[in-house]
Amino acid sequence: MRIAPFARLPRPLRWFARLLVLLLVLALLLAGVVVWSVRRAFPQLDGELKAPGLSANVSVYRDKYGVPHLYADTPEDLFFAQGFVHAQDRFWEMDFRRKTTAGRLSELFGKATLDTDKVIRTMGWRRVAEQELSILNPRTRAYLDRYAAGVNAWMKATPGKSLEYSVLKLTNRDYEPEPWTAVDSLAWLKAMAWDLRSNMEDELARAIAATAVPRQRAEELWPRYPYELNSPIVSEVNQARATSAALTPIPEESRDALARAARAVRAAPDLIGTDGDNSGIGSNSWVVSGAHTVSGKPLLANDPHLSPHMPSTWYQMGLHCRERSESCPFDLTGFTFAGLPSVVIGHNHRIAWGFTNLGPDVSDIYLERLRGQEYQYRDGWKPLETRTERIKVAGGETVTLTVRETGHGPLLSDVLGTAKRAIPGAAKALNEPDEEKEYGVALRWTALDPGRTADALFLMGTAENWDSFRAAAKSFEVPAQNLVYADVDGTIGYQAPGRIPVRSGGGDGAWPAAGWTGQVEWTGWVPYEKLPTQRDPVRGYIVTANNAATGPSTTPQLTRDWSYGYRSQRIIDRLKQAIQKGKVDAATMSSIQRDSRNAFAPELTRYLLNPDLKLAGPVKRAVKLFDGWDFGQSKDSAAAAYYNAVWRHLLIRTFNDELPEGARPDGGDQWYEVLRPLLAEPSDPWWDDVKTKGVQESRDQILLLALEDAFDELSDRLGPDPSRWAWGDLHSLTLTNDTFGTSGIAPIEWLFNRGPLRVDGGKDAVDAAGWNVQRGYDVTAVPSMRMVVDLADMDQSRWINLTGASGHAFHDNYWDQAGLWADGKTIPMRSRPESVRREAVNTLTLTP
């Protein structure tokens, strides 16, 4: 006999029980749908899988971290398979990236991304990529096409895409991704160049600062590079100093134009940068010759500092010809970008290389005088070039954007508003006739000229010695980089490739130029032969960390805006210590990568511990944290927590009262050199708070207030006992998905985001987990990967990625490397075929 459920319950409880069961059933069904949506997109990792377009089988071996090694008979099949495997793990990321670089995000997300699309369309990233395709080496073009064919083969074979597409259907049911093209890959190089664009923000910030304080005081905020403290990469210290060109004054009335241009820059996407704050972008790389290593062969280390992304910016991969030959020369292991063929950083069977950002001045801001649809140039008026961009908006109407350009480039000041009255009063400030004019701000940038960087990716991957590597690097035009090199024969080297402008009129690119004068123009590029280079230096090591590449009197001048060299000098000091104690090994290199020492803390704490400050009460007890502190910034350090809070409040109190937004301190090593002379001048005007009328604050008053502000903040956040404070409780990293991770809908964010992780290090420590004093302590830039290559035995190399190989939420490899990364650990970087096969947990054969 069947018994009806709940029959013996009172009627009200009976209905409640039935409702509860219904809700549970619906919850289970929803959970089942979510699980199905998640798992259906997981790639096939074992057995055989048809990939029409291949000429022969390709083997794909994956280790327990999901890192794939591909083995093929021809380069064409190898790059076809790379596109297929990239798409297996990261297609949503690839699709999102190409929509971003084409200025088409609004097709996915509606009007929320319209400003971003407008900025990208104004600069024309994809238009430039289309022009590049025709000037590339035919072999490069063929590889790009084969990569695209591999992506498209995956698309045809895989009806179920990733979870992101299921979520997107909730608001945009009509979206379907289109086939991949070679231009989709090339356009990614524009995003890379944008995020490594060097001093564009410095140029704007200088001009904005000069609208609020006198030019001389604004110059104090960008001090000279401290050559007496921190060595350049290749030159001996030379105390001569380059001079600036004569400049058109920056009128106070120009602030609106400059601020609008700055807003346009911030609205552009930062796919590897730091959310409009480019100050955290950097990298460490160094190479040690066999004279100083245990094995007698070189060691090479690299850790690029980029914004944290989920999934991570990088994708680890091996690309191998089964039989290496002239017709199939590839044997690569390293870090790739999903959406771009070849390996960007890593090694082949003979050489290894790493990147850091050179940071030369490759962009200029021009103030332009406008009249209707004309702009003034010297003694005449020229027509503005115009083009129309149509931006499709999901759930809305197509938006028409008119882009205007002068001979210097697109008008950024047009993007988020009209150019009219962009610089009101500028004529008066520049001692010109008093008449109404319009002004705009144009961008000249090397990445807006077609280039051949894609050629370099394949040429570097097949180089076998220093000469062929240098010849390959010549094509790496944008972004300009520092390259460190080592090979199995024992050679180490450094080369700075890149397209760097030569300016007329003595211009150095540090300040905006008056475009109508024609006095500061780009007249060509610095010849490759004159760019910094070095081979086998006597000291036996080469260190690059965005520090000055050359001495101050060296010509050509590449920039005024280097990073100030504290990371590079700390690496040099650590290497010297290690060499004095014995020989360097891979563990030494990894240890240096994790060095968290704050280089300015010894200087500032001398003043914080000064008894003349007359500290009292709990603040006095908190300051005792600095007694005996080694200046390391481990996540468990109480002293690091308090010091960084003091640093934050000190900069805000000292400078925010006078500097407008866009010119305020971010907390990086630029501000070490700003503060160093100020600390020796107790009555310098910067210490005064201009908001307190009739009161002249001194250094010690501001230091005391900063100590109190920091104590109050940490007491509220971490409790009243300073000994229980910990830097990692402030300085944490949430791995946030680039698309749905900030949706504002908690369940969706839970699907895609991971963390938080407590993190060591700090801005401009070697372990450069950056943060911005204006925003708080959350991590905004990270060592996005770490790699140590052992040229004695490539198979003993080590690496780590920020998150993991997979872009699929809830896949085992979605963020399985993140915990290891946060603890400073690495995993084996295998490359020998026998090692790859031995450690494979999945083996897939792609068949024609």
Both structure tokens of 542: 């080469």
Q: Are 136 and 452 in contact (CB under 8 A)?
A: yes
What three-state secondary structure class fits 211? coil
| Sites in the chain below the pLDDT cut of 70 | 1-37, 235-259, 270-280, 417-437
The domain in which residue 681 lies consists of 601-631+638-725
Burial readout 286-323 (b: 16 or more C-beta within 10 A, e: otherwise)? bbbbbbbbbbebbbbbbbbbbbbbbbbbbbbbbbbbbe
Task: Establish if 461 belongs to a structural domain.
Answer: no
What pLDDT sits at residue 827? 98
Q: Is 834 annotated as a binding residue?
A: no
> Given the DSSP bridges, would you call strands 842-847 and 47-50 parallel, antiparallel or unpaired?
parallel
Task: Establish if 493 belongs to a structural domain.
Answer: no
What pLDDT sits at residue 16? 53
Residue 831 corresponds to which amino acid?
Answer: S
Q: Is 434 annotated as a binding residue?
A: no
Identify which of 511, 481, 548 has the alpha carbon closest to the alpha carbon of residue 226.
548
Which residue, of 725, 741, 770, is where some domain finishes?
A: 725
Look at the chain and count its residues: 848
Angle at 550 between CA 547 and CA 556, to 5 degrees: 125
Task: Establish if 735 belongs to a structural domain.
Answer: no
Element (H, E) at 653: helix 638-655
Task: Establish if 572 belongs to a structural domain.
Answer: no
Distance of CA 38 to CAs 160, 338, 569, 687, 750, Å?
10, 20, 47, 56, 13
Task: Establish if 368 belongs to a structural domain.
Answer: no
Both structure tokens of 361: 């001045």
Q: In sequence order, what are the residues at sequence separation of 6 or more whose Cβ sits closer than 8 angstroms to the Cβ of residue 342? A: 79, 82, 143, 319, 332, 336, 457, 458, 461
DSSP string, 57-81: -EEEEE-TT--EEEEESSHHHHHHH
Quote the number of domains for the chain.
2
Q: Is 738 annotated as a binding residue?
A: no
Backbone angles phi, psi at 502, to 5 degrees: -105, 130
What pLDDT sits at residue 210? 86
Helix axes 566-581, 586-593, angle to 10 degrees: 150
Which class for 695: exposed (0-12), middle (13-18), buried (19 or more C-beta within 10 A)? exposed
Active site residues: 283
What pLDDT sits at residue 56? 98
Which class for 617: exposed (0-12), middle (13-18), buried (19 or more C-beta within 10 A)? exposed
Task: Establish if 668 belongs to a structural domain.
Answer: yes
Which residue, of 698, 725, 752, is where some domain finishes?
A: 725
Task: Establish if 680 belongs to a structural domain.
Answer: yes
Q: Cα 6 from chain centroid?
A: 60
Question: Which position has the token pair 């231009």?
Answer: 183
Which residue, of 673, 697, 725, is where some domain finishes?
A: 725
What pLDDT sits at residue 236? 47
What pLDDT sits at residue 555? 74
Q: The whole model's pTM is what? A: 0.92
Task: Establish if 793 belongs to a structural domain.
Answer: no
